[in-house]
């Protein structure tokens, strides 16, 4: 059927003040069964707030997990008066909350998020309010102008490859790259509490914009979507691993004495109180102990070296440098592990992708499984190009060969790299043309110097 897009945009612009000069990106096709698109107004409002939509119609931010049971107001960039309004009336010893250096016990579904994502959350909340007002003719909900206004707002944590989100409440921000929360909260997302990467979504965004009509009809299409939301944390239903979390105020002398004979961990487990011992009781959510206080929950460097270093060569170089310093680590073993578990697998995977790659028209963007014999687009006559380059396949081979040569790795590994070199030479046939020209390529060739006259 014919669709007058301009007329539709004009009618939308009269309602939500759409600026036709602003570029709005869409998708080339729909992969759900019903092929149902969402209202065009939503895409325009998202573009206005510079937010990006997921396959299920929601907005989300990826974040790394870390466990936390106690904090000080100064640790989460908050003040006592604001925390009192959020229910933190006393510190962990029962004294009234008045100072920013008092230690408080984190409530089971409260979370502390990185300062770096504050602006993203603000834009997401402003999009939802804009949507409520201009599309649904409802009053705004979040009324967020800055990150300080996010305190007390409800979010949903969702782990990859799952379909159940867990409700949480933002109480503050930290100068880290992790989401601090009670171990139970992380475990309720089916995670192991520390180091895993999950997503944060705004609850109202899910209720307004999530739809099964947008989900792709393929294996795994329902994964990573909030089909269900768990509003209340139930410690008895989380993975048993989280029940072993230590909440003791001190370790008894008997524990240290028994560990001298290296007994099974289960045989001394009853000597240290764990959260699993309080299941189904009122104290399963509060009165957690700790053995050592800390002056701060963050360090000066808020980002790890792995995220700061830009190239793989730099990351490998630093990893080898650390291995060289540590006497308990064999540098040669580290290099061999890098080649075996990372570089060789990436080279093989990239070569397979190159051999089965799709082709794309440079002009109209149409994608095809195989290029036509004429190497011109059947749709517009434009130039056809592959979606992968030779450089993307070979980029790790020279690194692996250099490491193998410099650190004299096992002969078997070196022979595998030699075989891969021969296979890639057969695949591409001929020297690789440089993707970027050197400045010297533009210089005129110099004539050979005249030989000096002999006397």
325 HSE (CA, 13 A, CB side): 5
Rounded Cα gap, residues 279 and 105, in angstroms: 18
SS3 440: helix
Question: Strand, coil or helix: what is 172?
Answer: strand
- The tens digit of pLDDT for each residue in 417-427 reads 999 999 998 88
Q: How confident is the model at residue 18 (pLDDT cuts 50, 70, 90)?
A: confident
- Do 251 and 393 lie in one domain? The reply is no
Residue 200 · residue 330 · CB < 8 Å: no
Judged against a pLDDT cut of 70, whether residue 33 lies above it is answered with yes
Same-domain status, 281 and 328: no
Q: How many domains does the chain have?
A: 3
The answer to whether position 374 is within a domain reads no
Q: Quick one: pLDDT band at residue 20, thresholds 50, 70, 90?
A: low
Same domain, 195 and 111: yes
Question: Domain boundary at 192, 208, 239, which?
Answer: 239
Residue 291 shares a structural domain with residue 321:
no
Residues 25 and 135 in one domain: yes
Give the distance from CA 391 to its chain's centroid.
26
* Same domain? 320 vs 417: yes
DSSP label of 99 = S
Say if 353 falls within a structural domain: yes
Residue 140 is assigned to a structural domain of this protein: yes
Candidate ranges 13-22, 148-157, 212-221; pick with highest mean pLDDT: 148-157
DSSP single-letter state for residue 446 = P
Residue 409 in domain:
yes
**Is 187 found in the same domain as 54?**
yes
37 and 138 together in one domain: yes
**pLDDT value of position 439:** 53
Bridge partners of 201, per DSSP, are 156
Specify whether 227 is located in the same domain as 115. Answer: yes
Give the range among 9-18, 99-108, 441-450 with minimum mean pLDDT. 441-450
| Of the candidates 166, 186, 189, 168, the residue with the CA atom closest to the CA atom of residue 275 | 186
Mean pLDDT, range 44-52, rounded to an integer? 91
Q: Establish if 77 belongs to a structural domain.
A: no
**276 with 320, same domain?**
no
Could you tell me which residues are beta bridge partners of residue 34?
A: none
74 located within any domain: no
pLDDT tens for each residue of 227-269: 999 999 988 888 888 898 899 999 999 999 999 999 998 899 8
Residue 448 has pLDDT above 80, yes or no: no
Residue 122 and residue 188 in one domain? yes
Residues 292 and 272 grouped into a single domain: yes
Whole-structure pTM value? 0.77
Q: Which domain holds residue 256?
A: 246-296
Provide CB contacts within 8 A for 379, sequence distance 6+. Answer: 361, 364, 366
């Amino acid at each position: 059927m014919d669709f007058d897009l301009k007329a539709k945009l004009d009618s939308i612009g009269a309602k939500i003040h759409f600026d036709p000069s602003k570029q709005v990106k869409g998708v080339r096709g729909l992969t759900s069964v019903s092929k149902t698109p969402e209202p065009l107004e939503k895409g325009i409002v998202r573009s206005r707030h510079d937010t990006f939509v997921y396959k299920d119609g929601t907005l989300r931010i990826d974040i790394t997990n870390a466990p936390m049971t106690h904090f000080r107001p100064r640790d989460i960039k908050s003040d006592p008066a604001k925390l009192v309004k959020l229910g933190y009336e006393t510190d962990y010893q029962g004294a009234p909350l008045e100072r920013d250096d008092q230690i408080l016990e984190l409530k089971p579904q409260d979370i502390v998020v990185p300062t770096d994502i504050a602006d993203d959350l603000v834009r997401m909340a402003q999009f939802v309010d804009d949507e409520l007002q201009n599309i649904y003719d409802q009053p705004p909900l979040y009324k967020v102008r800055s990150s300080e206004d996010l305190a007390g707002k409800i979010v949903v944590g969702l782990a990859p490859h799952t379909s159940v989100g867990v409700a949480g409440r933002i109480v503050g921000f930290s100068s880290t790259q992790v989401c601090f929360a009670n171990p139970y909260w992380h475990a309720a997302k089916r995670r192991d509490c520390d180091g895993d990467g999950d997503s944060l979504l705004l609850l109202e965004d899910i209720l307004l914009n999530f739809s099964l009509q947008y989900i792709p009809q393929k294996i795994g299409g329902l994964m990573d979507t909030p089909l269900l939301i768990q509003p209340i944390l139930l410690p008895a239903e989380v993975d048993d691993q989280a029940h072993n979390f230590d909440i003791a105020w001190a370790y008894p002398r008997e524990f240290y004495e028994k560990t001298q004979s290296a007994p099974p961990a289960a045989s001394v487990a009853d000597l240290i109180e764990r959260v699993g011992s309080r299941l189904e009781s009122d104290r399963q959510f509060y009165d957690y102990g700790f053995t050592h206080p800390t002056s701060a929950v963050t360090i000066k460097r808020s980002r790890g070296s792995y995220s700061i270093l830009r190239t793989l060569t730099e990351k490998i170089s630093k990893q080898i440098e650390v291995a060289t310093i540590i006497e308990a680590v064999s540098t040669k073993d580290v290099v061999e592990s890098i080649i075996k578990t990372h570089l060789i697998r990436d080279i093989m995977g990239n070569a397979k992708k190159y051999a089965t790659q799709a082709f794309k028209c440079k002009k109209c963007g149409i994608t095809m499984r195989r290029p036509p014999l004429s190497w011109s687009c059947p749709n517009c006559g434009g130039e056809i190009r592959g979606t992968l380059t030779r450089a993307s396949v070979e980029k790790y081979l020279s690194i692996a060969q250099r490491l193998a040569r410099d650190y004299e790795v096992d002969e078997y590994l070196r022979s595998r790299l030699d075989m891969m070199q021969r296979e890639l030479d057969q695949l591409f046939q001929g020297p690789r043309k440089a993707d970027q020209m050197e400045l010297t390529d533009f210089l005129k060739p110099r004539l050979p110097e005249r030989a000096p006259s002999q006397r």
